[in-house]
A and B are shown apart, each in its own frame.
Chain A
């Protein structure tokens, strides 16, 4: 019952920007868009989340399409430490649904 669609894998070169796409065509008005990443042998780590407007923090930027049916996580300058599995998750804040993870996108960063 995954509500998001992400590519299985992506590659990037070190110090170049990375754009990780996520499709969520059935998003509702109260669904927040969350991004988490999981480095090898660690638990998932919060990256960023947003509802309607684009968001920026020290780790990344989140660009949300005007119709909210897709979003893009932007890493401005990829480093080797950004190699991880990135998960895009919708969470309905009204129903307080829990986080439901899909398979995510495995990002490989090449030196």
Chain B
């Protein structure tokens, strides 16, 4: 049973460019969350998608946008890249079920370097 799959694993972009990162959730999961992790810090929440809609958002500018597809996979788009966007981008999937909390499964991340 495949866990969370992220692609690509590494990426180098130039300032001002746009990037799209992809995530396939664990089988049976319907919710996808995206995180940014700078070197030496904990992951910072970007946003969460459920039923193809953005449900929650962290403190990130509108340059960060996303999408969820009917098969629950998701994309993270970042426009007008800045050097400070260089980080590990993590995708986590989970299953929404009323008031039960089942925890998250994380992918290994996409390492984005902006030069």
Do the two chains bind? Answer: yes
Residues of A within 8 A of B (CB): 30, 32, 34, 36, 41-46, 49, 51, 85, 87, 91, 93-94, 96-104
Interface residues of B in 16-74 (CB under 8 A from A): 33, 35, 41-45, 48, 55-56, 58
Instruction: Select which of A32, A36, A42 is within 8 A of B101 by beta carbon.
Output: A32
> B33 touching A42 by the CB < 8 A rule?
no
> B101 touching A44 by the CB < 8 A rule?
no
> A98 touching B45 by the CB < 8 A rule?
yes
> A98 touching B42 by the CB < 8 A rule?
no
Interface of A is mostly: loop
- Inter-chain contact total with CB atoms closer than 8 Å: 58
Instruction: Select which of B48, B56, B58, B108 is within 8 A of A42 by beta carbon.
Output: B108
Interface size on B, residues (CB 8 A): 25
CB within 8 Å for A93 and B99 given contacts A45-B106, A98-B45, A98-B56 = yes
CB within 8 Å for A87 and B103 given contacts A96-B96, A97-B56 = no
Interface residues of B in 67-115 (CB under 8 A from A): 90, 92, 96, 99-101, 103-109
Instruction: Select which of B44, B99, B101, B108 is within 8 A of A101 by beta carbon.
Output: B44
> B42 touching A99 by the CB < 8 A rule?
no
> A100 touching B45 by the CB < 8 A rule?
yes
For residue B92, which residues in chain A have a CB less than 8 angstroms away from its CB? 43-44, 99
For residue B106, which residues in chain A have a CB less than 8 angstroms away from its CB? 36, 43-45
